[in-house]
Amino acid sequence: MATHLAFLRGVNLGPTRRLKMADLRAALGDAGFADVVTHLQSGNVVVSSALSAAAVATAMREAISTRLGLTTDVIVRSRAQLQAAADADPFGDIADDPARHVLGLMADRPVAAAVETVVKRIDSLPADGDRYAFDALHFYLWCPNGISRSPYFKVPWDRLGVSSTQRNWNTVTAMLALAAG
């Protein structure tokens, strides 16, 4: 069985779309996932499964929908994939606050035109030290003045045309540690 790291999109970000992590762990265990561990209250899950990453995402979406009544996107990475994304971080040498350093995880590779549209929007905003970069399945943000104060907070990420979610570097590091056992 392989270890999979799953990131649920838009869970527990206000009064709606609430999900208790104990309920999530139980639902995923009932759906056949092993070694289910959650991190924080924002839908970060490590599981063991013989399924492929794509099949894990589908099975988790279905389990969450049918057992917990919540429809949400699930983005899955292997430990090696997440570690490779962390290792490829273009801002690791300047990002000195992991709470202001973000990894964006995309479910699929967006088409070039969609990335160009988002980049044009980002480039039209006042940067004030904020930096961004894209690779195939990830984007990186460094927001030295804070995420909520960053102009990137106003970027319509849905224009990428693929599901995406963002986690700060504290969460990325913690998920890698959980996956390592």
Report pLDDT digits (tens) over 52-63. 999 999 999 999
74 and 87 part of one domain: no
175 and 113 part of one domain: yes
- H or E segment to which residue 27 belongs: helix 21-30
Domain termination site, one of 78, 107, 131: 78
pLDDT band at 141 (very low <50, low <70, confident <90, very high): very high
- Which tokens hold the place of 154? 């106003």
Domain termination site, one of 78, 93, 126: 78
Domain span including residue 68: 2-78
Distance CA 122, CA 160 (A): 12
- In this prediction, residue 14 carries a pLDDT of 72
Give the end-to-end CA distance of the chain in Å, rounded to a whole number: 14
Domain termination site, one of 26, 56, 78: 78
Q: Please write the tens of the pLDDT for every residue from 156-180.
A: 999 999 999 999 999 999 999 999 9
- Which tokens hold the place of 158? 């849905």
**Triad 98, 102, 108: Cα angle to 5°:** 150
3-state secondary structure of 8: strand
93 and 68 part of one domain: no
Give the mean pLDDT of the chain.
95
- How many separate domains does the chain show? 2
* pTM of structure: 0.94
Distance CA 108, CA 152 (A): 21
Distance CA 21, CA 37 (A): 9
156 and 94 part of one domain: yes
23 and 93 part of one domain: no
113 and 152 part of one domain: yes
- In this prediction, residue 170 carries a pLDDT of 97
- H or E segment to which residue 54 belongs: helix 53-68
The percent helix, strand, coil of the chain (3-state, each to 5) is: 40, 25, 35
